[in-house]
């Protein structure tokens, strides 16, 4: 038997005896100007796919915040029982800003997706990764995931599609958990700051009001994304010139004179 046939036999054995793993991966918080970006991967046996429907998993955008929390709690029960595995990567506003100096958000997300995937996938068995593509080019996003995974998960197929959280229940479940984690991060931040932050999106007047308040100091607050165009506009509208930048070590570079600050 040649190597190709032997590999096929091994995969067939795992498919029949062990079952193929299904891994969904998605993010929450790509667009907001406040708070972290959360990437979540959920890995389950293919035979458990029907359980996702039974606990109410659906496209996270179709679920209320309260329903997402109930579904996420049910998912966590399976994880506590070690029947399913979860990989979470939380990227702070600082990391997003530092990455923007020499890279872009798509590249950062590829790294976050890979990190999240490797935290929960079992390399001993084959599986399929269902990724919600964060690139306008679905195929390119999948190819970049494969490249970044390197020699890891060689026996795994990658399916990368836009809106995968609405097409595949495992990805939908990962999206739900990611959103619930980010919601909790924002709730904690609101309590710490003593103000409402809104949705976090620049189109939300409540968010913009919060951003203005968070830019009144000598530096923008650490919880907002200094590299976002929204912050640049608010900073300039406040008469402070160009906003400062910060790197991975937290070092700050001022682009405007201190005398220009309000």
Give the residue from 122, 153, 187 where a domain finishes.
Answer: 187
Are residues 136 and 205 located together in one domain of the fold? no
Residues 2-36: tens digit of each pLDDT: 444 443 333 333 343 346 899 999 999 999 999 99
Distance CA 199, CA 239 (A): 26
Are residues 69 and 176 located together in one domain of the fold? yes
For the chain, how many residues are written? Answer: 262
Are residues 145 and 252 located together in one domain of the fold? no
Are residues 128 and 237 located together in one domain of the fold? no
Distance CA 225, CA 32 (A): 9
Are residues 107 and 29 located together in one domain of the fold? yes
| Total domains present in the chain | 2
Q: What is the mean pLDDT of residues 83-90?
A: 96
The domain of 137 spans: 3-187
What percent of the chain stands above pLDDT 70? Answer: 90
Tell me if 41 sits within 8 A of 120, measured CB to CB.
Answer: yes
CATH number at residue 105: 3.30.420.10
Residues 28-71: tens digit of each pLDDT: 999 999 999 999 999 999 999 999 999 999 988 899 999 999 99
Give the residue from 166, 187, 208 where a domain finishes.
Answer: 187
Give the residue from 187, 213, 238 where a domain finishes.
Answer: 187
């Amino acid at each position: 038997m040649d190597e190709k046939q032997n590999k096929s036999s091994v995969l067939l054995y795992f498919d029949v005896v062990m079952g193929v793993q299904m891994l969904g991966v998605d993010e929450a918080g790509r667009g907001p100007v406040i708070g972290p970006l959360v990437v979540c991967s959920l890995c389950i046996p293919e035979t458990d796919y029907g359980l996702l429907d039974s606990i109410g998993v659906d496209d996270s955008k179709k679920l209320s915040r309260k329903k997402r929390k109930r579904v996420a709690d049910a998912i966590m029960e399976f994880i506590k029982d070690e029947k399913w595995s979860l990989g979470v990567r939380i990227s702070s506003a600082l990391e997003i800003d530092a990455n923007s100096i020499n890279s872009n958000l798509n590249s950062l997300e590829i790294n976050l997706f890979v990190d999240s995937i490797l935290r929960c996938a079992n390399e001993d068995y084959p599986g399929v990764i269902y990724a919600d593509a964060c690139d306008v080019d679905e195929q390119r996003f999948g190819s970049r995931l494969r490249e970044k995974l390197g020699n890891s998960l060689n026996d795994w197929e990658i399916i990368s599609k836009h809106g995968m959280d609405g097409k595949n229940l495992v990805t939908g479940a990962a999206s739900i958990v990611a959103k619930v984690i980010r919601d909790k991060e924002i709730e904690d931040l609101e309590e710490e700051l003593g103000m409402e932050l809104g949705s976090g999106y620049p189109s939300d007047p409540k968010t913009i009001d919060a951003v203005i308040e968070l830019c009144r100091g000598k530096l923008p607050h650490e919880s907002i994304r200094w590299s976002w165009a929204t912050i640049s506009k608010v900073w300039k509208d406040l008469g402070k010139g160009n906003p400062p930048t910060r790197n991975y070590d937290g070092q700050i570079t001022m682009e405007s004179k201190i005398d220009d600050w309000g």
